[in-house]
Amino acid sequence: MGLFRKAMSVGTLGIVSYRTKDQRAGRYARQMRNAMRAQVAQSAAQVEVARQHLAATDYANVREAQRDEQARYAAELAQYRIHLAQWQAERSKEQA
């Protein structure tokens, strides 16, 4: 049947279809299946990129919080040193 249809298609210059309805439906289904597989793969890649971006952003936020904590500690330490220097200066004046 297939060989006869193909010969008729060539002999009639395309008036008779080269493929049967079942062949066209199967080809369409295969193309759709392949397109869906490609879409799923692309979606998985996008999810992975988003996960990596989120992890990097979270890491940056943690680092920023650590920098803020270190800056706050440095400021408190500077204030303590200022008060200590003032106290030592007052004590030196009292002893002199």
Domain residue limits at 63? 2-95
Q: Report the C-alpha gap between 71 and 75 in whole angstroms.
A: 6
| Total count of domains within the chain | 1
pLDDT tens figures, 4-62: 777 888 888 878 787 888 888 999 999 999 999 999 999 999 999 999 988 888 887 88
Most confident of 9-13, 31-35, 66-70, 76-80: 31-35
Q: Report the C-alpha gap between 14 and 67 in whole angstroms.
A: 74
Is residue 31 within a helix (H) or strand (E), and if so which, with residue range? helix 21-95
Angle (CA) 59-62-64 rounded to 5° is: 110
pTM of the entire predicted model:
0.48
